[in-house]
Structure 1
Amino acid sequence: MLKSLAATLVFASGLAVSAPALAAPNDYSKDENWLCRPGRKDACAVDQSTTIVAANGDLMREDFKADPKAPIDCFYVYPTVSTDPGGNSDMVIDHAERRVVEQQLARFGAKCRLFAPMYRQITLEALRSNMMGKPIPMDPQLGFNDVRDAWADYLKRDNGGRGVVLIGHSQGARVLQGLLRDEAAMTPAKGRIVSALILGMNTPVGADKTFASLPPCTAASQTGCYVSYVSFREVAPPPANSRFGRATEPGMTAACVNPAALGGGSAPLKAYLTNGSTTAPNVWVKPEKKIDTPFVAVPGLLTGTCVEKDGASYLSVKVNADPADPRTDVLTGDVIANGKVLDDWGLHLIDVNLTMGNLVEIVGAQGAAWGHKGHH
Structure 2
Amino acid sequence: MVDAWNHYLAHENVGRGVVLIGHSQGAGVLTQLIANEVDGKPVQDKLVSAFLIGTNLPVEKGGKTGTFKSIPLCEAADQTGCAVAYVSFRADAPPPANSRFGVAPPQAQNMEAACVNPAALAGGKAGLHAYLASSGNLLGSSEEPQPWVKGGSTVGTPFVSVPGLLSGECVRKDGFHYLAVTVNADPADPRTDTIAGDVVQNGVIAKDWGLHLIDVNLAMGDISRLVESQGAAWLASRKD
Same fold? TM cut 0.5: yes
In the superposition, relative to structure 1, how do residues 317 and 251 fare at CA in structure 2: closer, same or farther (>3 Å)?
same
Q: 2:220 maps to what in 1?
A: 356
Q: d(CA) in 1 for partners of 2:38 and 2:113?
A: 25
Q: d(CA) in 2 for partners of 1:340 and 1:184?
A: 41
Q: Which of 163, 172, 177 is equivalent to 1:299?
A: 163
Cα offset, 1:188, TM superposition: 5.3
Q: d(CA) in 2 for partners of 1:185 and 1:309?
A: 30
Q: Which of 216, 223, 229 is equivalent to 2:86?
A: 229
Q: Which of 37, 41, 50 is equivalent to 1:187?
A: 41
Q: 2:113 maps to what in 1?
A: 254
Letter paired with 2:161? A
Cα offset, 1:238, TM superposition: 0.5
Give every structure 1 segment of 4 or more consecutive aligned residues whose post-TM-superposition deviation is greater than 3 Å.
Answer: 183-188
Q: d(CA) in 1 for partners of 2:160 and 2:104?
A: 33
Q: d(CA) in 2 for partners of 1:164 and 1:334?
A: 32
Cα offset, 1:183, TM superposition: 3.8
1:164 paired with 2:18, answer: yes
Letter paired with 2:123? G
Q: What is the number of equivalent residue pairs in this alignment? A: 230
Q: Which of 176, 180, 190 is equivalent to 1:312?
A: 176
Gaps of 5+ in 2: none
Q: d(CA) in 1 for partners of 2:37 and 2:14?
A: 20
Q: d(CA) in 2 for partners of 1:352 and 1:262?
A: 16
Q: 1:63 maps to what in 2?
A: none
Q: Which of 255, 274, 281 is equivalent to 2:133?
A: 274
1:238 paired with 2:95, answer: yes
Letter paired with 2:17? G
Identity %: 58
Cα offset, 1:187, TM superposition: 3.2
In the superposition, relative to structure 1, how do residues 369 and 286 fare at CA in structure 2: closer, same or farther (>3 Å)?
same
Q: 1:287 maps to what in 2?
A: 151
Cα offset, 1:277, TM superposition: 2.6
1:200 paired with 2:54, answer: yes
Q: d(CA) in 2 for partners of 1:306 and 1:252?
A: 16
Contact in 1 for aligned 2:38/2:44 (Cα 8 Å): no
Contact in 1 for aligned 2:146/2:194 (Cα 8 Å): no
1:209 paired with 2:64, answer: yes
In the superposition, relative to structure 1, how do residues 239 and 371 fare at CA in structure 2: closer, same or farther (>3 Å)?
same
Letter paired with 1:292? G
Q: d(CA) in 2 for partners of 1:183 and 1:363?
A: 22
Q: Deviations over 1:180-218 (max 9, x none)?
A: 111479835231101110000000011432141211111
Q: d(CA) in 2 for partners of 1:375 and 1:257?
A: 29
Letter paired with 2:163? P
Question: Which of these two proteins has the greater Rg computed from alpha carbons?
Answer: 1
SS of corresponding position for 2:31: helix
In the superposition, relative to structure 1, how do residues 264 and 327 fare at CA in structure 2: closer, same or farther (>3 Å)?
same
Q: d(CA) in 2 for partners of 1:193 and 1:262?
A: 18
Cα offset, 1:153, TM superposition: 1.0
In the superposition, relative to structure 1, how do residues 375 and 244 fare at CA in structure 2: closer, same or farther (>3 Å)?
farther
Q: 1:141 maps to what in 2?
A: none
1:219 paired with 2:76, answer: yes
Correspondence list, 1:1-376, <5 A:
147-183=1-37, 187=41, 189-207=43-61, 208-210=63-65, 211-212=67-68, 213-248=70-105, 249-278=108-137, 279=139, 281-374=145-238
SS of corresponding position for 2:50: strand
Q: d(CA) in 2 for partners of 1:167 and 1:153?
A: 18
Letter paired with 1:271? A
Gaps of 5+ in 1: 1-146
Cα offset, 1:290, TM superposition: 3.4
What is the aligned-residue RMSD (CA, Å)? 1.7
TM-score by length of 2: 0.91
Contact in 1 for aligned 2:146/2:195 (Cα 8 Å): no
SS of corresponding position for 1:159: coil
In the superposition, relative to structure 1, how do residues 180 and 316 fare at CA in structure 2: closer, same or farther (>3 Å)?
same
Contact in 2 for aligned 1:260/1:267 (Cα 8 Å): yes
Q: d(CA) in 1 for partners of 2:38 and 2:234?
A: 24
Q: d(CA) in 2 for partners of 1:162 and 1:250?
A: 37
Q: Deviations over 1:35-61 (max 9, x none)?
A: xxxxxxxxxxxxxxxxxxxxxxxxxxx
